[in-house]
């Protein structure tokens, strides 16, 4: 049984469905501060509880026989984190500490942690980021995610944890209209919401050191991301034989536990500790995203230029090689797939009065 914290959220709902499609048993814990009850599938128990409620969370794990946790519950707006650093560390950093305590209380020893490319901060050059790249977050959101990774790594030996931290890049698109991203902070939904309201979309910064002056990001389809979580659940469960694309998985190096990421020292042969980038390896600028959204809409998208937002790096692009090697996972969808599914979802949200 897998407990998905934040399972009523945009990403969490996709992960829940992907786990169910994989034949896993799933329960959800969500405080519904950002999640929606309608996103939780019929037959999946929703426990309305905050990840900060340690004892209640431990009780859910104990009562339901939870064996592993996928931890997605967190606040994620980089700009907001600059304005509210205490709140972000309370929710994100405090949330990981509370979760680890609850897992210890309930005897749960498998964890997949949703981290972020925000841990890297401003890259030192234009090369794609690897898991060994410097980590120097430029905002409290990124710092909270990096501290979460460190806490998990530090606690794993004492708790006997088998764990994986997925540093995912910019998530977009949807796997079903009713699972659309309703966030006001992500670029594609921001552009689409402005379009529906008859306002121009915003380009935040046009003076970055990039080919067209706008930020470059590695966009990953949420369905691809959900599949990466499923593969990570298999990894920490020792079920590597079931992973997709097994031909991508090389033999373990001498002294390396099967499925263990390079550079991660095993405490014993039964445990896994891995940090993995989840992205496409292809960067797209804000203007390129606008062009893709325009193609999906079938008409040019009106935009206007605004100053940079605080805490936004100029270029963040993944090298997902290690995820392919360790998880047997790779992305399948491109930017146009993301924007076309987002437009379809927006149409549904608008028609049903949800925006």
Of 221, 186, 183, 226, give the one whose Cα is nearest residue 33.
Answer: 183
Alpha carbon of 265 to those of 257, 268, 288: distances in Å? 9, 9, 40
Burial class (CB in 10 A: 0-12, 13-18, 19+), 4: buried
Mean pLDDT computed over 233-245: 70
Contact 51, 95 (CB under 8 A): yes
- pLDDT band (50, 70, 90) for residue 240: low
What class does CATH assign to 177-217+282-318+332-351? alpha beta
pLDDT (tens digit, 9 = 90+) per residue, 31-68?
999 899 999 999 999 999 999 999 999 999 999 999 99
| pLDDT exceeds 60 at position 251 | no
Task: Provide the residue ranges of all domains of the chain, joining segments of one domain with +.
Answer: 2-172+219-278, 177-217+282-318+332-351
C-alpha pair distances (Å), 336 with each of 174, 218, 340, 354: 12, 13, 6, 24
Q: Hey, which residues are catalytic here?
A: 141
Residue, of 14 and 186, whose pLDDT is higher: 14
Model confidence over 61-117: pLDDT tens digits?
999 999 999 999 999 888 788 899 999 999 999 999 999 999 999 999 999 999 999
Q: Report CA torsion sign: 280, 284, 286, 290.
A: negative
Long-range contact pairs involving 58-65 (C-beta distance under 8 Å, separation at least 24): 58/101, 58/102, 58/103, 58/105, 58/106, 60/3, 60/27, 60/29, 61/3, 61/102, 61/103, 61/105, 61/106, 61/108, 62/105, 62/106, 64/1, 64/3, 64/27, 65/1
Name the nearest CA neighbour of 311 among 140, 188, 120, 144. 140
Structure confidence at residue 255 (pLDDT): 35
CB-based contact 316:169 (threshold 8 Å) = yes
Domain 2-172+219-278 -> CATH class:
alpha beta
pLDDT at 25 over 70: yes
Section 168-178 average pLDDT:
93
| pLDDT tens-digit series, residues 124-151 | 887 899 999 999 998 999 999 999 999 9
The C-alpha angle with vertex 116 and arms to 110 and 131, in degrees rounded to 5, equals: 80
Residue-level pLDDT at 261:
44
Instruction: Return the number of other C-beta atoms located less than 10 Å from residue 252's C-beta.
Output: 12
Average pLDDT over all residues of the chain: 89
Higher pLDDT, 315 or 216: 216
Please tell me whether residue 301 adopts helix, strand or coil conformation: coil
H/E stretch holding 171: strand 170-172
């Amino acid at each position: 049984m897998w407990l998905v914290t934040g399972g009523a959220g945009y990403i969490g709902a996709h992960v829940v469905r992907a786990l169910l499609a994989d034949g896993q048993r799933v329960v959800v814990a969500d405080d519904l501060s950002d999640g929606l009850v309608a996103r939780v599938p019929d037959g999946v128990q929703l426990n309305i509880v905050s990840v900060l409620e340690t004892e209640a969370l431990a009780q859910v794990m104990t009562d339901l026989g939870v064996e592993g946790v996928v931890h997605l519950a967190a606040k994620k707006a980089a700009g907001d984190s600059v304005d509210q650093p205490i709140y972000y560390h309370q929710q994100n950093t405090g949330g990981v500490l509370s979760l680890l305590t609850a897992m210890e209380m309930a005897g749960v020893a498998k964890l997949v942690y949703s981290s972020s490319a925000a841990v890297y901060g401003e890259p030192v050059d234009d090369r794609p980021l690897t898991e060994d790249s410097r980590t120097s977050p430029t905002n409290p959101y990124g710092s909270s995610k990096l501290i979460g990774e460190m806490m998990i790594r530090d606690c794993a030996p004492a708790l006997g944890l088998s764990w994986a931290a997925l540093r995912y890049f910019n998530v977009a698109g949807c796997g079903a209209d009713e699972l659309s991203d309703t966030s006001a902070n992500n670029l594609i939904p921001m552009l689409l919401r402005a379009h529906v309201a008859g306002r121009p979309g915003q380009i935040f910064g046009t003076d970055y050191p990039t080919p067209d002056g706008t930020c470059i990001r590695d966009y990953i389809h949420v369905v691809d991301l959900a599949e990466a979580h499923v593969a990570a659940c298999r990894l920490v469960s020792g079920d590597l034989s079931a992973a997709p694309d097994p031909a991508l998985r090389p033999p373990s190096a001498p002294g390396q536990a099967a499925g263990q990421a390079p550079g991660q020292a095993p405490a014993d042969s039964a445990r896994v500790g891995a940090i993995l980038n989840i992205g496409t390896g292809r960067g797209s600028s804000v203007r390129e995203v606008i062009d893709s959204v325009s193609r999906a809409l079938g008409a040019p998208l009106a935009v206007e230029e605004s100053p940079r937002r605080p805490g936004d790096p100029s270029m963040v692009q993944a090298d997902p090689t290690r995820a392919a090697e360790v998880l047997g996972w790779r992305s399948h969808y491109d930017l146009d797939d993301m924007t076309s599914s987002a437009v379809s979802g927006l149409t549904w949200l608008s028609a049903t009065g949800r925006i």
